[in-house]
Amino acid sequence: MAGDYAPSLAMIVVQVGFAGLNIVSKLAMDSGMSPLVMIAYRNIVATIFLVPLALLFERTTIMALNGKILFQVFLCSIFGATSNQILYFLGLKYSSPTIACALSNMLPAITFVMAVPFRMETVGIKKLSGQAKVLGTVLCVGGSMLMTFYKGSLIHIWPSHIHWRYAETATTSDDASGSQNMALGAILIIASCFAWSIWFIIQAKMCKNFSSPYTSSALMCFMASIQCFVVGFAAERKLSVWSLGWDIRLAAVLYIGVIGSGLAFALMSWCIQKRGPLYVSMFSPLLLVIVAILGWAILDEKLYVGSATGSALIIVGLYLVLWGKGREMNAINGDSKNIDLVEQDGNSLPVYTSPKQDEPK
């Protein structure tokens, strides 16, 4: 019974970790740290964290690695780590943690749309479940567009009494450029969702042949660290940009490397293996709630009508997609229970039967 709740608890831990990632990384970038440098260090730290775990828990399964699996891991590193992280952190730099997390709620809708061509999801527009998934996808897209292009008036709420004083001095002139490029930041975050969805799909296919989350995550982070270092060094060639001191930059690198990549990738890979890609993406609204509270309390973030309305549309759309998916899975499970095995010439043949009715007493 406890095993049924393990994937849910694992995804809650992931979302809490991601909430801290958004806050800490935003402070580090506001202090002047390059997002490309941060991402390169993130994957290096994640690799160092994951390799011992892979050797400890999955030493025997490492021998199952072959060329096909390594190629799938390489694709995962491109989309799930390098492209996703670069797009997301650049988008976070030009926006805010709350907006970044709100737009990330498009992930289930994007995953649904991209999984249909690979026959991992079905539309079924004539059924109520299919209509709910399509309507939910439209609401998610509409909410994201509203957040991107409409700001609206300021929503006045009471000030936080636990505001982190470091956040007042950490910001630089990047805040001004960030407010001017809010739409660019939103577009980059939406693009990161597409890369994230591609990783979900590739990871789900890879798990059918290689179900070792620590090993696959360690290899993915190792490949991503090389890719991100090459991209980062091409953009930031001054050695002073790569230096780390005893400040928020070092704290951000260690936190997002161990928690944001190492632990999160391993837990999500395990959950994808257990419940599928859409299940993993359904926990993203929890991240929005946590980050909105932390952003208001610690960073003194402001809430606007466009952001609040867009977030509400995205969350409603998200749960329409998930409701439709749940109804669809219940129908499939119901059909599978109506299959009897009939012996014929020594072979077991599946025969569909009607649901059994209670006999009258």
pLDDT at 164: 53
Token pair for 170: 């950490």
* 243: Cβ contacts below 8 Å, ≥ 6 apart: none
Strand partners, 154: 304
Question: What's the mean pLDDT when you consider all of the chain?
Answer: 77
Task: Identify the residue whose tokens are 């300021």.
Answer: 154
Tokens of 182: 């809010």
Provide the pLDDT for residue 345.
46
pLDDT for the residue numbered 77: 92
**Is pLDDT at 342 greater than 70 in this prediction?**
no
Alpha carbon distances (Å) from 291 to 99, 102, 231: 9, 9, 29
Contact (CB, 8 A) for 140 and 289:
no
- What are the pLDDT digits (tens) for 108-166? 778 777 877 776 666 677 788 778 878 887 887 787 777 767 778 877 776 666 555 55
* Residue 187: how many other CB atoms lie within 10 Å: 18
Give me the pLDDT at residue 223, please: 94
4, two tokens = 């049924």
Q: What is the pTM of this model?
A: 0.70
Answer yes or no: is pLDDT of 357 > 70: no
pLDDT at 4 (0 to 100): 66
pLDDT band at 226 (very low <50, low <70, confident <90, very high): very high
Amino acid letter, 211: S
**Predicted pLDDT of residue 355:** 47
Which tops the pLDDT comparison, 177 or 132? Answer: 132
State which amino acid sits at residue 234. Answer: A
Q: What is the pLDDT of residue 360?
A: 45
First to last CA, the chain: 34
CB 14 within 8 A of CB 267: yes
Per-residue pLDDT tens digits for 75-116: 999 998 899 989 988 888 888 777 787 777 777 778 777 877
> Which residue is listed with tokens 């395990």?
270
Q: Please, which pLDDT band fits residue 200 given cuts at 50, 70 and 90?
A: confident
Tell me the range of 78-87, 257-266, 340-349 where mean pLDDT is highest. Answer: 78-87
Q: What is the pLDDT of residue 173?
A: 43
CA neighbor of 24 nearest in space, from 38, 6, 3: 38
Residue 182 has pLDDT above 80, yes or no: no
CA proximity to 199, closest of 141, 261, 145, 253? 261
Q: Is the pLDDT of residue 353 over 60?
A: no
Given pLDDT bands bounded at 50, 70 and 90, which one contains residue 235?
A: confident
Which pLDDT score, from 0 to 100, does residue 238 have?
85
Q: What is the pLDDT of residues 287-340, one digit of tens each?
A: 777 777 777 767 666 777 877 888 788 778 877 877 887 777 677 666 555 544
Residue among 87, 116, 114 nearest 103 (CA) = 87
176: pLDDT strictly greater than 50: no
Asked if pLDDT for residue 169 goes beyond 70, the answer is: no
At residue 344, the pLDDT reads 44
- Rounded mean pLDDT, 36-59: 88
Q: Has residue 222 got a pLDDT over 70?
A: yes
pLDDT at 75: 93
Burial environment of residue 335 by CB neighbours within 10 A (0 to 12, 13 to 18, 19 or more): exposed
